[in-house]
Amino acid sequence: CATKTYDFEVSWVSANPDGLQERSVIGINGQWPLPTLNVTKGDQVVINVKNSLGNESTSLHFHGLYQNGTTHMDGPTQVTQCAIIPGSSFTYNFTVDQPGTYWYHSHVRGQYPDGLRGAFIVHDPEDPHKDLYDEEIVLTFSDWYHDHMPDLLASFISIANPSGAEPVPDSALVNETQNLSVKIEPGRRYKFRIINMGAFAAQYVWFEDHTMQVVEVDGIYTEPADAEMIYVTVAQRWSVIVTAKNDTNANFAFIGSMDQDLFDTVPDGLNPNVTGWLVYDDTKEKPVPKEIDSFEPFDDFSLVPQDKEKLYDHVDHQIQLDMKMDNLDDGANYAFFNDQTYVSPKVPTLYTVLSTGSNATNPEVYGSHTNQFVLDHNQVVEIVLNNDDPGKHPFHLHGHVFQVVHRSDDDAGFYDASNHSAFPETPMRRDTILVRPNGNIVLRFRSDNPGVWLFHCHIEWHVASGLIATIIEAPLDIQKQLSGKIPQDHQQACKAGNVMME
Ligand code: C2O
């Protein structure tokens, strides 16, 4: 195993990824799109961040990494750290013990859609599927806004938008462009690591005249499963193997198409699609994609994990989250779990764990607006989420994957524990899962990773409107691991931002 060190200076640079509007975006070392980080399972990763944005604080989250023993390196501000204010530096340092497809992004309110998002790949010398492909290629899909997030957020959460209509993206991108050609050799087998790094829109993804074989979701190897089209919510990752044709007679399009059901209104002239090309012969034309009249994506609930981990068949601790969108007294629209909208605490929740001794197991020490749940160590935890909203929501849990034991159709209403379809014997696991409109999901995981972990909708608008819960997992074990061990620069970040760590 190696130590991989990166120096990241975060600053504004100029870009025009859809060819329609030049704007400032958040780059690293003067570049945007951001670098893909390639590490190997077992590596130690050190990332020195210097914030040269001038006008915004920042942080980095490594989406999907368990951060076992290093919850203070997880990245969400006011949860596991204070924000890195302009002009200051901060080092992330952790060991990666899980293979798969991940990504990194800012975890400061609303920031990553302005550009601070990149792929994070953990290579596996023992990949069980390594004989199934010859080469791998990363494809990041995303949505793109011409306006800056702070401006969009100000009008999104305001009395002028009482219905909470989310800003609609201006375009879709693949690898942060609308002009991507992938050179293909006949007969070769490609593993595409597909990541949705968008703010809002899930994308339907398909390759014309080529079948995909799904082999990984969110870092979990699956038994290979054929799919013609997949539905990738924001923050999800899917690895698919595509076998090239044996001749070079034609080139083929692949498409990402934003799910317009998410949009309250579809603006005139919006192109919901981004097209890339599998180029077998660059002297031949690139085809115009065929129109399709219905979207019938593969159902990820049918996936079987390669390790066939069994369903946790008893539950020690249940968390029920009833979510809805509603107005508060200021006339703006917010999101709620159990009638409570999340408000960032002044002191990062992790530091409250570290400063409250045996009281850390008492949920009340975490304030009244963090939607907090305290878990004992090593229990089977079940999250029942009831979506009392007509929208689709991709939910993400930090620090874990969960077994997806149940997912209802649209309009099923609240989960009924006495009347549901049989749970799968070997449920698929992932870290980000779609909940259908007015539907429900049931997730299970083991609380074997002491830390402070967010559970939230990954639509960045809904993060801002408070659709967040805080899981405080085994707080006394966190104290044992981390008391007296929080690095100096973390304490510095709080002082600089005038937050007392206590
Ligand atoms: Cu990509 Cu809080 O997560």
Domain boundaries, the chain: 3-128, 131-302, 317-496
| Token pair of 445 as six digits | 């995981």
- Give me the pLDDT at residue 500, please: 66
Side by side, the strands of the sheet bearing 189-196 are: 171-174, 135-144, 189-196, 237-243, 212-217, 220-227
Contact 17, 27 (CB under 8 A): no
From the alpha carbon of 112, which atom of ligand 1 is closest?
Answer: 1
- Give me the pLDDT at residue 1, please: 83
Q: Is the dihedral of CA 60, 17, 456, 108 positive or negative?
A: positive
| Token pair of 432 as six digits | 């980000």
Is residue 64 in contact with ligand 1, taking CB distance under 6 Å?
no
| Token pair of 370 as six digits | 């963090």
**Exposed/middle/buried for 425, CB within 10 Å: 0-12, 13-18, 19+?**
exposed
Is residue 63 in contact with ligand 1, taking CB distance under 6 Å?
yes
Is residue 76 in contact with ligand 1, taking CB distance under 6 Å?
yes
What is the distance in A from the centroid of ligand 1 to the CA of 92?
Answer: 16
Same fold, 131-302 and 317-496: yes
Residue with tokens 């915004």: 56
317-496 homologous superfamily: Cupredoxins -  blue copper proteins (2.60.40.420)
Report which of 57, 20, 16 is spatially closest to residue 33, judged by C-alpha positions: 16
Eight-state DSSP code of residue 177: B
Contact 57, 84 (CB under 8 A): yes
| Token pair of 183 as six digits | 């050179």
From the alpha carbon of 235, which atom of ligand 1 is closest?
Answer: 1
Side by side, the strands of the sheet bearing 252-258 are: 180-183, 273-279, 252-258, 203-207, 230-232
Print pLDDT tens along the chain (502 aa): 899 999 999 999 999 999 999 999 999 999 999 999 999 999 999 999 999 999 999 999 999 999 999 999 999 999 999 999 999 999 999 999 999 999 999 999 999 999 999 999 999 999 999 999 999 999 999 999 999 999 999 999 999 999 999 999 999 999 999 999 999 999 999 999 999 999 999 999 999 999 999 999 999 999 999 999 999 999 999 999 999 999 999 999 999 999 999 999 999 999 999 999 999 999 999 999 999 989 999 999 999 999 999 999 999 999 999 999 999 999 999 999 999 999 999 999 999 999 999 999 999 999 989 999 999 999 999 999 999 999 999 999 999 999 999 999 999 999 999 999 999 999 999 999 999 999 999 999 999 999 999 999 999 999 999 999 999 999 999 999 999 999 999 999 999 888 766 5
| Fold classification of 3-128 (topology level) | Immunoglobulin-like (2.60.40)
What is the distance in A from the centroid of ligand 1 to the CA of 398?
Answer: 7
Q: Please count the other Cβ atoms lying within 10 Å of the Cβ belonging to residue 246.
A: 9
What is the distance in A from the centroid of ligand 1 to the CA of 61?
Answer: 7
Please tell me whether residue 480 adopts helix, strand or coil conformation. helix
Q: Tell me how far apart the alpha carbons of residues 10 and 126 are, in angstroms, rounded to a whole number.
A: 34
Is residue 462 in contact with ligand 1, taking CB distance under 6 Å?
no
| Token pair of 104 as six digits | 């990194």
Is residue 399 in contact with ligand 1, taking CB distance under 6 Å?
no
Is residue 400 in contact with ligand 1, taking CB distance under 6 Å?
no
Query: Which CATH number among 2.60.40.420, 3.40.50.360, 3.40.50.1580, 3.40.50.720 corresponds to the domain 131-302?
Result: 2.60.40.420
Report which of 258, 152, 177 is spatially closest to residue 15, judged by C-alpha positions: 177
The residue type at 449: N
Contact 407, 435 (CB under 8 A): yes
For residue 371, what are the contacts with CB-CB under 8 A and spacing of at least 6?
337, 338, 340, 342, 468, 469, 470
Q: Tell me how far apart the alpha carbons of residues 227 and 297 are, in angstroms, rounded to a whole number.
A: 8
What is the distance in A from the centroid of ligand 1 to the CA of 244?
Answer: 34
Q: Please count the other Cβ atoms lying within 10 Å of the Cβ belonging to residue 3.
A: 11
Look up the pTM and report it: 0.98
Report which of 189, 182, 170 is spatially closest to residue 139, judged by C-alpha positions: 182
What is the distance in A from the centroid of ligand 1 to the CA of 459?
Answer: 10
For residue 67, what are the contacts with CB-CB under 8 A and spacing of at least 6?
73, 74, 94, 398, 399, 449, 451
What is the distance in A from the centroid of ligand 1 to the CA of 282?
Answer: 39
What is the distance in A from the centroid of ligand 1 to the CA of 124?
Answer: 23
Contact 400, 424 (CB under 8 A): no
| Token pair of 287 as six digits | 């085809």
For residue 151, what are the contacts with CB-CB under 8 A and spacing of at least 6?
none
Pairing of β 220-227 and β 212-217: antiparallel
What is the distance in A from the centroid of ligand 1 to the CA of 433?
Answer: 12
Start-to-end CA distance of the chain, whole Å, equals 37
Q: What are phi and psi of 71, to 5 degrees?
A: -60, -25
**Left (φ > 0), alpha (ψ -120 to 50) or beta: where does 462 sit?**
alpha
Q: Per 3-state DSSP, what percentage of the chain is helix, strand, and coil (rounded to 5)?
A: 10, 40, 50
- Give me the pLDDT at residue 501, please: 62
Atom 3, ligand 1: residue with shortest CA distance: 63
From residue 463, give the alpha-carbon distance in Å to each of 148, 200, 277, 456, 475. Answer: 16, 11, 34, 7, 24
Atom 1, ligand 1: residue with shortest CA distance: 63
Q: Tell me how far apart the alpha carbons of residues 338 and 466 are, in angstroms, rounded to a whole number.
A: 12
